[in-house]
Amino acid sequence: GENVEQHPSTLSVQEGDSAVIKCTYSDSASNYFPWYKQELGKRPQLIIDIRSNVGEKKDQRIAVTLNKTAKHFSLHITETQPEDSAVYFCAAGGTTSGTYKYIFGTGTRLKVLA
């Protein structure tokens, strides 16, 4: 079945350093790749997304890259700040059996050390 693998499961970085989280998807029909940030006890919130016709997208300190051939996409956070500490989820969206589905990765707990 469809699957999204996410690595690493935990990541600790010093404030000001960069953080990179990687995901791999299996379904070639996937065409939408969002990243969600979830703070403790809060709802997941979209921070950036990319569609399959784009290779890279940037929004201030965050960027996402997509390699459709390898079925890889990555989240890059530069100049990390303590408020970036949270769990980050990648997802792959696509139509399977006539239904548009989102498959989520297992999450990465990011800790930014002051």
Query: Number of C-alpha atoms within 13 angstroms, CB side, residue 44?
Result: 14
Part of the chain binding another protein (CB under 8 A), chosen from 55-63, 66-74, 78-86, 99-107:
99-107
**Of 34, 73, 74, 77, which one interacts with another protein (CB under 8 A)?**
34
- Considering the complex, what minimum distance in angstroms separates the CB of residue 36 from another protein? 8
The Cα 57–Cα 63 span in angstroms is 6
Residue 108, CA distances (Å) to 12, 31, 39, 96 in order: 10, 22, 12, 26
**Of 19, 44, 85, 86, which one interacts with another protein (CB under 8 A)?**
44
Q: Which of 111, 112, 108 is nearest to 8 (CA)?
A: 108
Q: Which residues bind another protein (CB under 8 A)?
A: 4, 6, 31-32, 34, 36, 42-46, 49, 51, 89, 91, 93, 95, 98-107
